[in-house]
Amino acid sequence: MDTKQSIWSRLFSWKGQVDRGFYVLSGLVLFIIKWNIDRLLGAYFFDAKWMPYQYLFPGTEYLFPGTEFAGMVLELEREAFLLLLLGTALPFIYVGVILTVKRLRSTGLPTLLAALFFVPFINLLFFAVLSCLPRKEESGGSREISPPSFLKNMIPRAPRANFFFSIWVSALLCVLLLLASVQLIGSYGWGLFVGIPFVLGMSSVLIHCIHERRSFGQCMAVSSTACALSGACILLFAIEGLICLVMSMCLTVPLAILGGVVGYFMQTSYYSNRVTPILLLTLLPLMGFEKVRSPEPVGFEVTSTVEIDAPVEMVWKNVVSFSELPPVEDWLFSTGLAYPIRAEIKGTGVGAVRHCVFSTGAFVEPITIWDEPRHLRFDVTQMPAPMEEWTFYEHVHPPHLEGYFRTTQGEFRLESLPGGRTRLHGTTWYENDLWPAHYWKWWSDLLIHRIHLRVMKHVRNLSEGNVSSVHPD
């Protein structure tokens, strides 16, 4: 009876502490229980297959295998199932936060770090760290900075030398992890864009604080400088181009700073000499798991609209094929991103093949719907590289330019308006194999919309120019 009360108190009471053994065991047991509840409910109510890895990748194609994501019914079913998962998760979240707070308390760390429980992917790294750190009492309760002798000899004490040592070691470690993820594992996922920046910021601070406690400003300086140095190494070693680095900054820089904040709170002797190896040993298997898992790319669509002072019959002719576009004025396309130049078509009707020539090559687009002059739809069977990287070198071609972003379909819909005018809708369907998918969706949607407008404004100018030539003032 006492044992049952003790376990109940450990799980549901905010008071007290828990050791690492109980923390690991209870976390695994609760996860297994949660997964089985979700699996059974999903199979019974939604005929959905739910596997443990889907907590990281809750895509529709995994929830409803054998079906394509199309139509409002499937979308509503997906949302209902995810709401069910959220409902069943609430009590487990409550217990998980309690256990994390009590585990932090037992290690002497600030309980506010329990907020990391809610950060995707990073919560897995943090769980691994808390599962390995000893109780504060196991280290004698000492708060003195006393690193092992080999670290004393390896890491300089002088402030400036220590600063540069910290940023260079952490930056080179994370560049090696990036190369392992991209070149060996072939994964552009959570581990690359979330795990590595967090580990970079945290490890740089922990190395910097190995001899003595540092101020919050010093910790932020070393984590942000390590992040900047890593970006410079990636550019100078021809791993990536400038544009991709810039696009990733909105995600990676805040995560590196977050890692630095966590490192600031963990700067004690018996933490700093353990945490960095734990993070590295956890991050590598997680990145490998992402590749083995091979999640299906997420599908998105982008629609843009313009209105044209010309009848639909005139607009249709310029939609099917159009002459060479004028030189680019949009600064975005001067950065190396692919932009359309002209469109050509061979044949008419379904089965005809349209070629939309971009600055990096041609899209091959067999026509699947030809409803003149209302609706033109085509598949994309071949596409060129989405961009040419900005770099100091003659040529840089990172793996993500091949197959990680794929345009699958496109269409134009023409809507007749009063007064002989036309509303033109352009839609592109694409798949994105970069994670977190919805972060990269923001960028890809923006770029596709700008491509749409470049083409559709050209169609508008051609159509309105033809009307003027037929009906001169």
Type of residue at 345? I
Same domain, 272 and 380: no
User: Looking at residue 345, which CATH number applies to its domain?
Assistant: 3.30.530.20
Residue 189 lies in a domain: yes
Clarify whether residues 307 and 435 are in a common domain.
Answer: yes
Per DSSP, the three-state class of 225 is helix
**How many C-beta atoms surround the C-beta of residue 263 within 10 A?**
28
200, part of any domain: yes
- Please check whether residues 336 and 387 belong to one and the same domain: yes
376 lies in a domain?
yes
Residue 357 domain-assigned (yes or no): yes
Do residue 466 and residue 317 come from a single domain?
A: yes
> Where does a domain end: 278, 295, 312?
295
443 in the same domain as 304: yes
Domain endpoint, select from 295, 319, 341: 295
89 and 153, same domain (yes or no): no
Asked if residue 263 and residue 325 are part of one domain, the reply reads no
Distance CA 262, CA 121 (A): 15
435 in Cβ contact with 193 (< 8 Å): yes
- Out of 279, 295, 311, a domain closes at 295
Residue 117 domain flag: no
Whether residue 149 is contained in a domain is answered as: yes
- What is the residue-level pLDDT of the chain in tens, covering all 473 positions? 344 447 777 777 888 888 888 999 999 999 999 889 988 887 777 777 777 777 765 544 445 444 444 444 455 666 777 788 788 889 999 999 999 999 999 888 888 899 999 988 899 999 999 998 888 765 544 444 555 556 667 888 888 999 999 999 999 999 999 988 888 887 788 888 999 999 999 999 999 988 888 999 999 999 999 999 999 999 888 888 888 888 899 999 999 999 999 999 888 655 566 788 888 888 888 888 777 766 667 788 999 999 999 999 999 999 998 888 888 888 888 878 888 999 899 988 999 999 999 988 899 999 999 999 999 999 999 998 888 877 777 777 777 777 788 899 999 999 999 999 999 999 999 988 888 888 899 999 999 999 999 999 999 999 987 655 545 55
Is there a single domain that holds both residue 269 and residue 332? no
Measured distance CA(307)–CA(370) in Å, rounded: 21
97 within a domain of the structure (yes/no): yes
Q: Do 46 and 11 share a domain, yes or no?
A: yes
Residue environment code for 102-139, b if the CB has 16+ CB neighbours within 10 A, otherwise e: bbbbbbbbeeebbebbeeebbebbbbbbbbebebbeeb
> Are residue 179 and residue 84 in the same domain, yes or no?
no
* Shared domain check, 286 and 400: no
Q: Give the type of residue at 177.
A: L
> How many domains does one find in the chain?
3
Quote the domain boundaries for residue 208. 142-295
9 and 91, same domain (yes or no):
yes
Classify residue 286: in a domain, yes or no.
yes
Overall pTM > 0.95: no
